[in-house]
Amino acid sequence: MRLYYKFVLSILVISCRGLAVFSQDVGFSQFYDQPLLRNPALAGIFTGDVRLSASFRNQWQSVTVPYTTYGLSSEIKMPVNAAPNDNLTIGLQLLRDVAGTSEFSTLQILPAVNYSLPLSQEKNSFLSLGLMGGLMQQRFDPTKLAFNDQFVAGSNGTFSVLPVTGQIFNNTSINYPDLSVGVSYNGSINENADYYIGTALFHLTKPKVGFFDGNVITLNRKAAFNFGMASRTSETDQIIVYGDYFKQFNYDFKPVGVSTLQIGLMFNRDLWGEDEDNRKGITFGVLYRWNDAVIPVVQLEFSKLTVSTSYDVNISKLVVASQYRGGLEVTLTYKDLLNSRRRGNGPIPCPKFGGHMPNTHYIGY
């Protein structure tokens, strides 16, 4: 019994690799395009009214059975009119991750809501409070695994595997609710630069994960600290900085020594046409996940659609096996304005990030 408990525990630790080797949550290298995984209060912090992001990640193909992750994030901003220029963002985070030989899978269905209260129209600053909660599912296929009681001695020092095992799992699929909350502040330094900062707390419900009776694993609470800044250096260029720091805490909020940092530096050049429907642009840069990977990224923008590609250059202790090969990631992002905003006579103050251009309908970061 103890043997296969340790085995399942190792599956959980390895499979739920997320942002770093010892993380319990799944994440993406292009983390800025899946904002709800960073902080529910970052929903709606972009220039525009509607954003859809779809991400695909293929990891560790050079080491073992590839880990594949699919993510879909959607956000839509709308006025509330409880206070002048306030906004409500409705979001949805969907994620599916399949890891390793056991096909250990994680499914997230997490609706989110974020309310943004204006603090200063002059600096376009907003204080945002976000809440995200929904259903999580984790499962694996034990028939894809081989246990030690299946191995029998063969001739000439070889081993054969018996078709069945005596190890019995009470459950191979579990469902549990999850809840997170966050707050963020965004504003402008001047007409050419804006920024946001935020903090969030994940796993408020202290979800319990276990595949047999009497032994469960409680997911640690996770604190997040977020930062982003976009500064336009010319009429066509801007520099963008992103940063996240995550720290895990146990049930009584004592640090458990598990943390990770991810940062990014991007350079964007606009090659726009006469109107937003003909805009084109290119962005390139490098991301870094602490003690894990260096990640070059390239984005091509075609009007409202952006295509991004990145590759993890692994620098962790696994580099002996990976030979610096980590994972390929591709993201498609669509941004637009609501029809009511397009028909307006002037810009409506709302939470935004980057994209300071003379055209008030510019759709940027």
Q: Where are the domains of the chain?
A: 2-144+173-342
pLDDT tier, 81 (very low <50, low <70, confident <90, very high otherwise): confident
Burial class from Cβ neighbours inside 10 Å (0-12, 13-18, 19+) for residue 90 reads middle
Stretch 17-39: mean pLDDT: 75
Mean pLDDT, rounded, of the chain: 82
Q: List 89's β-bridge partners, or say none.
A: 77, 114
Domain 2-144+173-342 has CATH 2.40.160.40: yes
Q: What is the pLDDT of residues 249-263, one digit of tens each?
A: 887 788 887 889 999
Burial class from Cβ neighbours inside 10 Å (0-12, 13-18, 19+) for residue 67 reads buried
pLDDT tier, 114 (very low <50, low <70, confident <90, very high otherwise): very high
319 or 113, which is more confident: 113
Q: Is the pLDDT of residue 231 over 80?
A: yes
Name the residue type at position 25.
Answer: D
- Alpha-carbon distance of 77 to 115, in angstroms, equals 9
Q: Are 132 and 204 in contact (CB under 8 A)?
A: no
126 by DSSP, 3-state: which? strand
Q: What is the pLDDT of residues 33-73, one digit of tens each?
A: 999 999 999 999 988 899 999 999 987 666 667 789 999 99
What's the pLDDT at 351? 82
Closest CA to 53 of 38, 31, 77, 68: 31
Q: Is the pLDDT of residue 22 over 70?
A: no
Which helix (H) or strand (E) element contains residue 113?
strand 104-120
Q: Is the pLDDT of residue 158 over 90?
A: no
